Structure 1
Amino acid sequence: MIDEARTRDAVRLMREAAAALLASLDAAQKTSASAPFEVADQQKWTYLPGPRPGLSLAEMTTAQRVLALELLDAGCSAGGAQTARGIIELERVRRQLTGQSVAPGDDPYWVRILGDVSRDEPWAWRVNGHHLAVHVTVVVDQLAVTPNFLGAEPAVVPRGQHVGLRTLAAEEDLARALLAGLDTEQRLTAVTSEVAPHDILTRFDPVADPRALPTGLPHAQMTDEQRALLQHLVRCYFDRAPLEHANACWQRAVEAGLERMRFGWAGPDRRGLGHYYCVSGPTFLIEYDNTQDDANHIHSVWRDLRGDWGGDLLATHYADRHRRPVPSP
């Protein structure tokens, strides 16, 4: 059962965090950080380097950056927040490895809040930058947390103070464990190509199309042990979100039919060589690619086929409001 009270608590915490951040900003900062909920570029996003709409961490005071990261934390589980913050730190490491100077707080990540956090109307927020795209939509006391993208460059830090650091280790290791446990016949179905694509196939499309993904091996053709590994892999992505929301996403996947989930792999299975995998089901898709920079550069994404950008919640909200009787004058 889903604990709705805990979901409401999660929404309350992020509402408070967003309000605290906005209250700390001056007028110019607030103008940069805010936009209407239905702004034209609401569903435009990317994980590539470059500026984003919103207010960057680099433009904030130290105290404001603390509040911005507390908002990021509120939209994630404890582990998800640690990973998201780790990606911001990894970007500093990447820049240092390429000879760039990195000043304290000079982080190219942008915070944007859409709508009025003080009202019961839908609102949203996102933290975006290179290899980090956290999108949260709030509809009354419910939330959506996708598209959710995490990347790691380098996937394994090759030298320096952080040598050996793997920010997205579980995303790779769980999939490799599942692949290694397949028998020859299963691998013929699961491995869809000897060459991995150069990136995730859905890229940063506003609406993810599951038909873009290779078919792969059905859950129904796996052993119990393999199914458990597949579940663990899917939960690795879902568990980036606050616990109750992650549980709700998993419950929807179960109700839609676990037997309809599929796992596909492309590329060799040897570490250090370019590889890709995907997991898809009726309610979600997951993609992971590590091919760039001599297979030391991860892109990973979780898309909710019904709930990206809060689509299902918004449809229900607006339909309910339309059906609500108009009070008599």
Structure 2
Amino acid sequence: MANPRSGCSAAGRMARAARAFIDGLAPDQRQTACATFDAPDRREFTYLPGPRPGLALDEMTDEQQARAMELLATGLSERGMANARTIMQLEGILAEIERAVGRRGWQRRHPRYYWFRILGYPDGSGPWAWKAGGHHLAVHMTIVGEQVAGTPQFFGANPAVVPDGHAHAGLRTLADEEDLGRALVTALTPAQRELAVSAPLAPRDIITRSDPVADVTQIPSGLIGDHMSGEQRELLVRLIRRYLGRVIPAVADTAWEEIDDAGLERVSFRWAGPTDPGHGHYYAVLGPTFLIEYDNTQNNANHIHTVWRDLRHDWGDDLLAAHYASPISADHEH
């Protein structure tokens, strides 16, 4: 969540980019791309292949695509944008792989099968939101006044490492998410692993899936930061900030402040599956204010799913509650 006390203009940049995107659309495109803030799909969260509400890049001109990506860049950091572009690029590679082996449905893979949606009016008159997503990418931004909530967020990669014989062979996506998690679990002592490793086999997917509200009671217990050494705690911090660093600093820094204020000693880490590379594995990092999940089990452990959920700010729920509870807001609504 971006904090207005920081003097951040993230909300303004998003509003300008959203208006530019909308203004560049034809009337029928605008009707497809835009909806009221209370539209049922505002809290729709999926990372599976298939169409979404909104306007797809494939349905846009080159100029419109550029404006859509400029909107995406107002919410993602430079690294986050690089990840997002690579995830989109992987869809073309995945289509090639699946077509070569005769897998049905390869036609649903395409680098431009990503949908953009504006909910509400980016004119400062009330809360609004924008979202962008398709297979393995889900970005949600909710804006209430000058405050921005940037979760839920999903990044995935298939293939995580592009195999030989294909364009961009050897390209590795979301590498640090895998390497930092493995570095932390292998840095633990045998006694600590007894607490951190929850199962010999990893679940087939992230446990909370695409539920609108993350049920953290499903996450198995693990090793808390209070029981880690200084070096292990540093790895934990690097891992958390890897996920937060996908979004713009105005949102990431505020999220980190809340995690730190709640106490790193209360943050837990759990791992499932073997620790050697090449085997299916899973980890979760859970704190009082957030959840991170990572799973790499499908396609012979070459298919990554990752999610960051803010337990207070997903969908901007706490911001909206405060907005609608304020007397000024209530007068404005009536």
TM class, shorter-chain normalised?
Answer: over 0.9
Residue 6 of structure 1: how far off its partner (Å): 6.0
The partner residue of 1:276 within 279, 282, 288 is 282
Could you say if the C-alpha distance between residues 7 and 243 of structure 1 is closer, same or farther in structure 2, counting changes exceeding 3 Å? farther
Matches within 5 A, 1:88-127: 88-99=88-99, 107-127=112-132
Which residue is 1:133 aligned to? 138
Percent of pairs with identical residues: 50
Which residue is 1:40 aligned to? 40
The partner residue of 2:302 within 290, 293, 296 is 296
Residue 312 of structure 1: how far off its partner (Å): 1.1
Please tell me whether residue 56 in structure 1 is matched to residue 53 in structure 2: no
Q: List per-residue Cα deviations over 1:118-153 (Å, max 9, x = no partner).
A: 133100000010000000000100101101000000
The count of aligned residue pairs is 324
Q: List per-residue Cα deviations over 1:268-324 (Å, max 9, x = no partner).
A: 011111000000000000000000111110000000001000011111111124687
Q: List per-residue Cα deviations over 1:254-279 (Å, max 9, x = no partner).
A: 11111110000000011111000000
Matches within 5 A, 1:177-326: 177-321=183-327
Could you say if the C-alpha distance between residues 6 and 21 of structure 1 is closer, same or farther in structure 2, counting changes exceeding 3 Å? farther
What's the TM-score, normalizing by structure 2? Answer: 0.93
Q: Distance in 2 between matches of 1:55 and 1:241?
A: 22
The one-letter code of the counterpart of 2:133 is: N
Which residue is 2:156 aligned to? 151
Q: Is the 8 A contact 1:7 1:141 kept in 2?
A: no
Which residue is 2:25 aligned to? 25
Could you say if the C-alpha distance between residues 25 and 318 of structure 1 is closer, same or farther in structure 2, counting changes exceeding 3 Å? same
Residue 108 of structure 1: how far off its partner (Å): 0.7
Could you say if the C-alpha distance between residues 325 and 21 of structure 1 is closer, same or farther in structure 2, counting changes exceeding 3 Å? closer
Q: List per-residue Cα deviations over 1:147-188 (Å, max 9, x = no partner).
A: 100000001111223111111001001111111110100011
- What root-mean-square deviation, in Å, do the aligned CA atoms of Structure 1 and Structure 2 show? 1.9
Structure 2, gaps ≥5 residues long = 101-105
Q: List per-residue Cα deviations over 1:232-260 (Å, max 9, x = no partner).
A: 00000111111021111011011111111
Could you say if the C-alpha distance between residues 296 and 16 of structure 1 is closer, same or farther in structure 2, counting changes exceeding 3 Å? same
The one-letter code of the counterpart of 1:309 is: W
The one-letter code of the counterpart of 2:270 is: G
Please tell me whether residue 176 in structure 1 is matched to residue 182 in structure 2: yes
Residue 205 of structure 1: how far off its partner (Å): 0.2
Residue 90 of structure 1: how far off its partner (Å): 1.4
The one-letter code of the counterpart of 1:53 is: P
SS of residue paired to 1:98: helix
Residue 27 of structure 1: how far off its partner (Å): 0.6
SS of residue paired to 1:151: strand
The one-letter code of the counterpart of 1:110 is: W
Q: Is the 8 A contact 1:279 1:285 kept in 2?
A: yes
Could you say if the C-alpha distance between residues 113 and 224 of structure 1 is closer, same or farther in structure 2, counting changes exceeding 3 Å? same
Structure 1, gaps ≥5 residues long = none
The one-letter code of the counterpart of 2:170 is: G
Could you say if the C-alpha distance between residues 191 and 7 of structure 1 is closer, same or farther in structure 2, counting changes exceeding 3 Å? farther
The one-letter code of the counterpart of 1:200 is: I
Which residue is 2:103 aligned to? none
Residue 106 of structure 1: how far off its partner (Å): 5.7
Q: Distance in 2 between matches of 1:19 and 1:324?
A: 26
What's the TM-score, normalizing by structure 1? Answer: 0.94
Q: Is the 8 A contact 1:134 1:149 kept in 2?
A: yes
SS of residue paired to 1:42: helix
Q: Distance in 2 between matches of 1:84 and 1:241?
A: 11
Q: Is the 8 A contact 2:77 2:246 kept in 1?
A: yes
SS of residue paired to 1:89: helix
Q: List per-residue Cα deviations over 1:7-63 (Å, max 9, x = no partner).
A: 632211111111111000001000000000011222122100111100000000011
SS of residue paired to 1:306: coil
Q: Which runs of 4+ in 1 moved over 6 A?
A: 323-326
